[in-house]
Structure 1
């Protein structure tokens, strides 16, 4: 579990507060997309964690994305809401739920459990920061062995394979991972079409609950799909 240091909230919890501030003035799906885009624009390997870093993030990359997406007036309201929550969080830090605790639910009544597999940690970290919390938990695995271990410890609702950041190819271990997913689970192959097609073709042979999402259009479709899983198990493809 994250520990909040002096003048800080812990990186993912701090970004979660920023997102919740935005959600007070706009739809949750818009807020998640904006936070992801701002983290991508920020370009840092680590999430902002200290009060200083969080306020810099809010007044820099986040404000720039907000102005583009929702206009200057609403951007100002969103920034004020985010900064107010950060201020309250520093004054009284509430511990975020741990991955182990939130993943024990047997069905998607509470948080959706996402397992993100990518050799590149940065996309997974942004995904976890923009979606994670009480509604969605995101575990990031850098290879299939770690993903297998994570799924065995805490069953996955949505497996996301980053085809562009996944250098292992379609292996027997990947087949094992998809076969071991619970019946309610889905596997999303996310990436550019030339990367997703061979992975999708191979996995379709062993599971009907596999689909691809084109990353060329940005991350919004992936975020929307994960949020939609809270409504219940997937329909057959």
Structure 2
């Protein structure tokens, strides 16, 4: 299968953020990658190309405060980055090759947190979260850079539920299939946070929880990167491709 790669600009708040659209050339599921804080779309491109080869349209993009808009790093808020994600989602859903009722969102760390919130605002059929972070609901419009890091680390060690956090509340309403990937040696997003997410998905159609043995938060080694890529590709193949062919026309998610 040939893959077409197209550099795109995503309009949001009177500005543009950069993205890359990878297309197989037929009406198929769409997959949106959301990088973490301090990351970029470059970290997702290799996986996106691989998954595009399975028969999906994949999109990666740079949140404001990163890459070309790095000058905004100290001022960008969670509200603005959520707007970035919504703009990217809407652009992907409008693409003529994409079935807008068959969209997967794959988020890492901060991107996983934003992806969880997105499921309450847009239809998402499949959701993959790698080491998703948690942030308290207050200070929503305070620059993300200015949030108290020590306080957040303590917050993430607490056992939290849907009534305590906006992202977890969205997870509780999600009815699609979920992949949750944990790093065994993560000193940034602790096991407690992963369990808060896992426990919140009370209405999920299915839940797959995988741990990358010996991995840190950033998947610093090639072996860890390959392990995560294998987990993700296998899950996408099983959930998106197989279910798309066999069952998808008879199943659609509820969202609010």
Normalising TM by the smaller chain, what interval? Answer: 0.3 to 0.5
- More helix as a share of residues: 1
Larger relative contact order (C-alpha < 8 A, sep ≥ 6)? 1
Give TM-score, length-normalised by structure 1.
0.36
**Bigger Cα Rg:** 1
Q: TM-score, normalised by structure 2?
A: 0.34
